[in-house]
Amino acid sequence: MKPLQIKGLMLDMARVTERYQHYMDMAESASAWGYNTIFAHLTDDDGCAMVFENRPDLATPHALTRQQIKDWIQTAKRNGLNIIPEIECFGHTKYIHSLPKYKHLAVKCVGHHNAIHPMHPDTHAIVGDMLREIAVIFDSPYIHAGFDEVNLGQSKLGAAAVGKEHWEVFADYVNHVHHIIDSLGKKMMIWGDHLVSEPRIGKRISKDIIICDWQYHPDVNTKTTQLLLDMGFTVLCCPSSSRSGDMILPRSNTQGNLQRFSRIAHSLGDNVVGLVNTVWCPGRMLCDTERFAYALGGAWFNDPEADPEPVMCEYVNKRFGIDPPDMLADAILRLSILMPHNSLPRRIMQTETSEKAPPSPVTDAEVMQMREIALAIKPIRNVLESLRSQVQRNEAEYNNFILTCDLIDWWDKLAHVRLGRDTGNTLACIKEHGHLLLKRCKDDWQRRRFPDDPKRDADTYAEQDGLITNLLRSLKNMEVAQ
């Protein structure tokens, strides 16, 4: 088994910018889980999590100051961690062109994904300013420039693009940004999805760029990684422990993705230099319920065949002080196995809406599926409740596993009420219980996040899968129904 240079944990700071202490805690904790790198996803459509002195208008609420970033870097360094910054330079750039003064830079396109005009001098000036400031603040040898999910639509892009196909425009802009980053004495990283879908890009861009191969399905294979290697690139494998489909806490299929991608990274040649555990959209999760997946990812990055049970035992013993830890470790793993894709609770809450039509009625099959999950989770909740008095630290985090069980029980009762099957509950009773659960979720949000963050109560991603957002929408719909 070959050693890996980079074992990274990515924090999505842009979609929800959390309290500064959380990032300091990650800088102190990540190495204990086996990581040597933190990837700071600083910008995305929903925000810019750092105050740039030369572009302060880009910062969104609660963005970290330059001094906070410097202190964070030093804390990480003392704990053996390097922090690599990521600035989205092409797609996912609404944090720039949604501002009125920069709206002329938005590429006209249809759909959720977007792009900033890659040939406009104002784009070059903004991106150049950000990269130069990042290069000064972060002492990492790398800068991640994004370049994933770029949507150029059917845009003509002006005279400078005449005679060029979009893949050529993409490649030329990659090389433009690479020239800036290279001149700053840094190595450039980008996401690999566009190279996979259009291999001609790989022939046109510098082979000095490190490609981050993100693949999130549980049955991931070597195909895309090998394709990028065959193009002549150095590759980072990027699984995920929190992504689309997850709500409340990471599901076991994301853990399968972590382990299988770890096997791939260790089995291929030396040009696979590491792994990154990507953690997207923290607003979907109850605070800290994702930490156990960080521990599993770190263990698999070091040894892809590591048994998850002893890893979990060590985690819960250190995190909660429970000894012996076996029952709790098993309960959390079983809970993650039983967690449904978030589409099921959203169907039951009737919050899976579209602009064209309201959600269709809940089906018998959906109700029975949620009932099976709820019944299987009852004994897990009993275990959690029986061990609660033994928790010595991080009690709020522990209680979130109980809250997870209570939310699933609520979805089960709501599903049966919607079909008129559960005479022991009424819609009014369900609504009252739902408000209590919502309060517990809001109280939890405030522990690690800012209560005045508009992202708490509003959709921050096209999939509309925020936990609090969906609870609010569901309860509002019940008000209308009554």
Single-letter amino acid, residue 272: V
- The pLDDT assigned to 12 comes to 97
Which secondary-structure segment (H or E) carries 173?
A: helix 166-183
Question: What tokens were used for 430?
Answer: 């369900």
SS3 64: strand
Provide the strand spans (E) within 132-233.
142-144, 187-191, 210-214
CA distances from 325 to 29, 310, 321, 322 (A): 20, 9, 8, 5
Whether the CB-CB separation of 236 and 213 falls below 8 Å is answered with: yes
Task: Give CA–CA dist 221/246, Å, rounded.
Answer: 21
Q: Taking CA 419 as the corner, what is the angle to CA 416 and CA 422, rounded to the nearest 5 degrees?
A: 40
pLDDT at 159: 65
CA 31 distance to own-chain centroid:
20
Q: What is the four-CA torsion angle of 328, 332, 337, 339, rounded to 10 degrees?
A: 140
Report the C-alpha gap between 147 and 88 in whole angstroms: 7
Strands 43-44 and 47-48: antiparallel
Give the E-state strand segments of 68-159 in sequence order. 82-86, 142-144
Phi-psi domain of 191 (left: phi exceeds 0; alpha: psi -120 through 50; beta: other): beta
Tens digit of each residue's pLDDT, the chain (482 residues): 777 899 999 999 999 999 999 999 999 999 999 999 999 999 999 999 999 999 999 999 999 999 999 999 999 999 999 999 999 999 999 999 999 999 999 999 888 899 999 999 999 999 999 999 999 999 999 999 999 999 998 777 876 677 889 999 999 999 999 999 999 999 999 999 999 999 999 999 999 999 999 999 999 999 999 999 999 999 999 999 988 889 999 999 889 999 999 999 999 989 999 999 999 999 899 999 999 999 999 999 999 999 999 999 999 999 999 999 999 999 999 999 999 999 999 999 998 765 556 788 899 999 999 999 999 999 999 999 999 999 999 999 999 999 999 999 999 999 999 888 776 778 889 999 999 999 999 999 999 999 999 889 876 655 577 899 999 999 998 876 65
> What integer pLDDT is reported at residue 353 of this predicted model?
66
Which residues are within 8 A (CB) of 465 and not within 5 positions of it... i.e. 6 or more apart? 244, 245, 247, 281, 284, 342, 346
For the whole model, what pTM was predicted? 0.95
**Angle, helix 395-418 to helix 364-387, in steps of 10 degrees:** 150
Rounded Cα distance between 167 and 137, Å, is 32
β-bridge mates for residue 242, sequence order: 279
Distance (Å, rounded) from C-alpha 398 to C-alpha 392?
10
